[in-house]
Amino acid sequence: MLDFLVDRNGWPAPPSAGGCFPTFAIAMSGRSLVLSLKLKLLGLVLLLCLAVSTTVYAANSTYHAVQHLQQQSALAKAGDVRSIRPWMTIPYVAHICHVPAAYLYRALHIPETPSVQHLTLHALALRTKRPVDELIRTLQQAIETYRQQHPGPKSTPTREPAASSALAKGERP
């Protein structure tokens, strides 16, 4: 019955609350409760917006990373010399570019030893005290030279089925 004499935390109301009517302090605590709920809701909405924007940013970054990976994969499968990276080894470059590894070692003036075969281009550059970009350019030029000197088999056009080629010549199947 005298609930208005107890504030919202369960503590007795201050002596100024006395009487039968709620005081200004009790009325203000109700307003602060509403204000507190509004602030919590605003904070929740802001956190939700932050979470959504972070998710969109991460999805966009992932999409572009996958696109870049697919482009690099296509270059590597095609044996494009632009796909050579500092983390690759000479045998790996030879494999993806279809060039003998011994030819690449000779182009770099590096002896082909077992200890060198497992070094990355970056480690080789450090060992030979050359910039890694220069080492990669030398490899790219060597691969292009090798391809000019040793042209690979050209792709053969697909053959038409016998019936369609006979029709093209005006013969009956």
Q: Are 93 and 122 in contact (CB under 8 A)?
A: no
Q: Are 173 and 165 in contact (CB under 8 A)?
A: no
Lowest mean pLDDT among 23-32, 51-60, 70-79, 139-148: 23-32
Element (H, E) at 72: helix 24-78
Q: What pTM, to 2 d.p., does this model score?
A: 0.54
Predicted local distance difference test score (pLDDT) of residue 87: 92
Predicted local distance difference test score (pLDDT) of residue 30: 64
C-alpha to C-alpha distance for 90 and 95, rounded to whole angstroms = 9
38 pLDDT more than 90:
no
pLDDT tens digit sequence for 125-147: 999 999 999 999 999 999 999 98
Q: What phi-psi label fits residue 113: left (phi over 0), alpha (psi between -120 and 50 degrees) or beta? A: beta
Interval 67-93 mean pLDDT: 87
